[in-house]
Amino acid sequence: MRPYDLLFEQALTRVDPERIHHAAFRAIRAAGPLTSRAVRVPAAPVEALGLRFPHRLGLAAGFDKNAVGIDGLAALGFGHVEVGTVTGEAQPGNPTPRLFRLKDDRAIVNRMGFNNDGAEVVARRLAAWRATGRSTILGVNIGKSKVVPEDEAARDYEKSAGLLAPYADYLVVNVSSPNTPGLRNLQAVEKLEPILAAVRRRADEVRPDHRVPLLVKIAPDLSDDDVVAVADLALASGLDGVIATNTTISRDGLATSAATLDEVGAGGLSGRPLTRRSEDVVRMLRARVGADLTLVGVGGITSVDDARRRVAAGADLLQAYTAFVYEGPLWPRRIVRGLAADG
């Protein structure tokens, strides 16, 4: 058993997951100057979204919601960091407890509810970070504020885009979290199209000298027909890519007992149970869009073999979150090293 596995089983699992997350994140930020001087892992650069990524693996949105630890996370070996989800208005998120481990499935259930400091505060934070000259590739993931009605969603996303696009290497429209009421309804093409148009227009207004790549993040729970419809919309609307996939509301095929699942309750499931569906969605998207769009594969990537299969399915870039929690701070470098060995 690896030292981190022992620590995780004997200590970390005995403490509330959200408390552990905040403690671990503080440690990552504090250790950033030291980990950044660690021996660099061989990696194969990737050209995507008009950017040169140092390698395929990045950190998915959700870990650093408020853009407070970009450098520390990059120092662990992530080639890009996606912050957020950031909403137009600051919000506390859902009541606690709202984060749960399903150890038998190497999975996490969360119903955080887009808890974040809001686009204005995060924009100021990113402005200060950019002023330091840091070079980490930064994605900014934006979502709908809970207080904003569904029919005003485009305005809310547009507000966030205007504030955050000046500091983003790429923007992501998140319409696929299950923890904001009505949000997933926005994945319907007729509702998604005006949101994407508003974000694109506003990003171009605030960055007239540089086109910020725009992606959409979709759920694994979409039907195959809806995945194809989103792919067609992405092509028609000039999107730069799709992130597949977010968390799932499904609880099918889990090793965790029904009683435990009932106790945990609602929320988005991430981790190993998503592996097959997320891979299938990437494969469907690539078959539909050809080579024209960047696809980011996320969901259930734990091993080097998982990463290889996701790339073989059509992913240009990879992201992870839950495996990082279960496997520990050395995990990103192990994945990057394994992929680099493939040449």
pLDDT digits (tens, 9 = 90+) for 235-248: 999 999 999 999 99
Mean pLDDT, residues 269-275 taken together: 96
pTM over 0.85: yes
**Cα atoms found within 13 Å of the Cα of residue 161, Cβ hemisphere only:** 30
**Token pair belonging to 119:** 């686009």
Mean pLDDT, residues 301-315 taken together: 97
Enclosing H/E stretch for 133? none
Per residue in 65-106, pLDDT (tens digit) is: 999 999 999 999 999 999 999 999 999 999 999 999 999 999
Enclosing H/E stretch for 143? strand 137-143
Mean pLDDT for the chain?
91
> Is pLDDT above 90 for 195?
yes
Per residue in 142-158, pLDDT (tens digit) is: 999 999 998 899 999 99
Q: Per the annotation, where are the binding residues?
A: 61-65, 85, 110-114, 141, 174, 179, 217, 245-247, 271, 300, 321-322
pLDDT level of residue 178 (50, 70, 90 thresholds)? confident
For the chain, what percent of residues have pLDDT higher than 70? 92
Mean pLDDT, residues 25-36 taken together: 76
Q: Per the annotation, where are the binding residues for FMN?
A: 61-65, 85, 141, 174, 217, 245, 271, 300, 321-322
Cis peptide before 247 (omega within 30 of 0): no
CB atoms within 10 A of CB 223: 8
* Predicted local confidence at residue 266, as pLDDT: 94
DSSP 80-116: EEEEEEEESS-B--SPSP-EEEEGGGTEEEE-----B
* Predicted local confidence at residue 227, as pLDDT: 92
> Is pLDDT above 90 for 46?
yes
* Predicted local confidence at residue 183, as pLDDT: 64
* Predicted local confidence at residue 134, as pLDDT: 86
**Alpha carbon distance 276, 294 (integer Å):** 20
Nearest to 216 by CA among 186, 181, 250, 190: 186
pLDDT level of residue 190 (50, 70, 90 thresholds)? confident
Name the active-site residue from 176, 177, 270, 278: 177
The number of domains in the chain is 1
* Predicted local confidence at residue 45, as pLDDT: 93
CATH number, domain of 180, equals: 3.20.20.70
> Is pLDDT above 70 for 275?
yes
**Domain range holding 172?**
3-340
Asked about 237 being catalytic, the answer comes back as no
